[in-house]
Amino acid sequence: MVLTAPLALWVLPVSDLGGVARHVLDVTEVGIPGYRVAVLCPPGPLADRLRAGGADVTTGPVGPEHGGRSALIATRAAVRERRPAVVHSHLSWADVVTAAATVGSGTALVSTEHGIADDDLVYHRTVWRSRAKAALHTARLRRADAVIAVSEATARSVRARWHPGRSTRVRVVRNGVDPLPHREQRAPGLHVCSIARFAPEKRLDALVRAFATLAATHPGARLTLAGTGALEEPVRRLVDELGLADATELPGHVDAADLLGRSDVLVQLSVWENCSYSLLDALVHGVGVVATPVGGNTEILPSAALVPHDEPAAVADAVARQGLEPSTRPALPAGWPTRAQMCADIAQVYREVRT
């Protein structure tokens, strides 16, 4: 008699190919030891990419744009039909929906926190909205069996802001990344890049101003701002105002590996990061990294690579040093998990909540 591995149903409310999508694609490609993985998400590029890779995917109206009632009905239907051993949610909307949709199902409930900050005004903009969201998460965590945090900083924020109950495990499972077989020996250069949403919390305006300081003393420097978002036009205007149009490219969404393969330093001056795939990918590719000392960044980068966002000269100096002296560029920290190790750690969490 052949026993079928238990099913983990991953629920996420996004359809595009952002950071959380990268996490899901990695896990479905590698696999979680001892478990089958199925994904429930809205139709779109992520579902298409998952299917192309042979993943078990169901699409449905589970995103914020579909409304709470539709998301609840679709998630509850998937849980009843698939009868998963574990329902694993990602991002705030899905966390709340799955907490309600799994009532009475008997399934274990796990969430991964990718985007919580010490100061939630980063995401919610108003104090009352931040407090309301925190109260909602405190309530839904009363039902959760485990919370996976992608960094120690994330775990601290979860405990401080959402107050999980004593029965809810909080486990750190960092985003895994596979080293290249041979780390590239990179030549000196000052092609600076960013791979980020054009959103306020990414502080791309601060990067443009720091690049202007760099370009004043290194006229051959170039800047590529890869990504899309609501602030793209204001950033374009700032580039024009500072006379940087000839040295700056805004190509929209790009293949990250391709851009990193032709860049020298990645800069990320975010208000907060939990466990940035952009930073990890840059380290793997031998690209220099300059970032703000916030959240999980301090667990990835040495202090020499961490700079205040509001000191353009300090940012420019750090970029110039790493760009022109490749030996100063940081490497992936010793012992950082591979994708397989990350998946094994997730499996361990599943075993804990099912025993």
User: Which pLDDT band, with edges at 50, 70 and 90, does 167 fall under?
Assistant: confident
**Domain check: are 205 and 272 in the same one?**
yes
Are both 296 and 345 inside the same structural domain? no
**Domain count across the chain:** 2
- Going by their DSSP bridges, the two strands 222-226 and 56-59 should be labelled as unpaired
| Same domain? 158 vs 216 | no
Q: In this structure, are 297 and 323 located in the same domain?
A: yes
CA–CA dist 115, 113 (Å, integer): 6
294 within some domain:
yes
Does residue 183 lie in a domain region? Answer: no
Confidence band of 1 (pLDDT split at 50, 70, 90): very low
According to the model, what pLDDT value does residue 184 have?
Answer: 62
* Helix pair angle (204-217, 312-324), 10° resolution: 60
Looking at residue 339, its pLDDT comes to: 98
Average pLDDT over residues 20-49: 97
157 and 33 in one domain? yes
Is residue 1 in a domain? no
pTM recorded for the entire structure: 0.92
> Is residue 324 located within the same domain as residue 342?
no
Are both 47 and 196 inside the same structural domain? no
Joined tokens for residue 33: 């030891």
pLDDT of residue 186: 81
Per-residue pLDDT reduced to its tens digit, 209-265: 999 999 999 999 999 999 999 999 999 999 999 999 999 999 998 999 999 999 999
Is residue 200 assigned to a domain? yes
Residues 266 and 302 in one domain: yes
- Residue 220: CB partners within 8 Å, gap ≥ 6? 190
Q: Do both 256 and 152 map to the same domain?
A: no
**262 in any annotated domain:** yes
Query: What are the beta bridge partners of residue 194?
Result: 225
User: Given this model, what pLDDT does residue 122 score?
Assistant: 57
Domain membership of residue 151 as a residue range: 7-176+337-354
Predicted confidence (pLDDT) per residue in 279-301, tens digit: 999 999 999 999 999 999 999 99
Q: List the Cα angle 3/176/254 in 5-degree steps.
A: 115
Are residues 233 and 323 both part of a single domain?
yes
